[in-house]
Amino acid sequence: DGGITQSPKYLFRKEGQNVTLSCEQNLNHDAMYWYRQDPGQGLRLIYYSQIVNDFQKGDIAEGYSVSREKKESFPLTVTSAQKNPTAFYLCASSTRKGLAGGPSDIQYFGAGTRLSVL
């Protein structure tokens, strides 16, 4: 089955610790995205990547880092500089083929990782 796999489902971070959230897709999608969801707020974009070895900051990139060494993988590291990391983290991907505004723009989401601070 094709899809987006996020792991772990739950993650706990200690003070001063960096943690890495995994996101893998086998949909052959070019573009991948990381969002953060907090209660009462819309999803907010952290980082996105449209092609391997390239990624761009989103609206709330401070305290986070990413890499895109393979098309299938887009891991997110929550660094100790992120002072309020408790949230639901969602990874998404899209094909990005063709013109903007069509089916290729549809972003499909993984099941998410819930990060809490110990």
Residues contributing to the site for another protein (CB under 8 A): 31, 35, 40-45, 48, 50, 56, 58, 90, 94, 96, 100-103, 105-112
Q: Report in angstroms how near the CB of residue 34 gets to another protein at its nearest.
A: 12
**To the nearest whole angstrom, how small is the minimum distance from the Cβ of residue 7 to another protein?**
13
Beta carbon of residue 17, minimum distance to another protein (angstroms, whole number) = 24
CB of residue 90 to another protein, shortest distance in Å: 6
- Judge whether 82 and 46 are in contact, CB under 8 Å: no
Which two three-digit tokens encode residue 28?
Answer: 């052959």
Which residue's CB is nearer to another protein, number 19 or number 32?
Answer: 32
Nearer to another protein, 45 or 117 (CB): 45
CB-nearer residue toward another protein: 78 or 90: 90
The 3-class secondary structure across the chain, one letter per residue, is CCCEEEECCEEEECCCCCEEEEEEECCCCCEEEEEEECCCCCCEEEEEEEECCEEEECCCCCCEEECCCECCECCEEECCCCCCCCEEEEEEEECCCCCCCCHHHCCEECCCEEEEEC
* Choice between 16 and 101, CB closer to another protein: 101
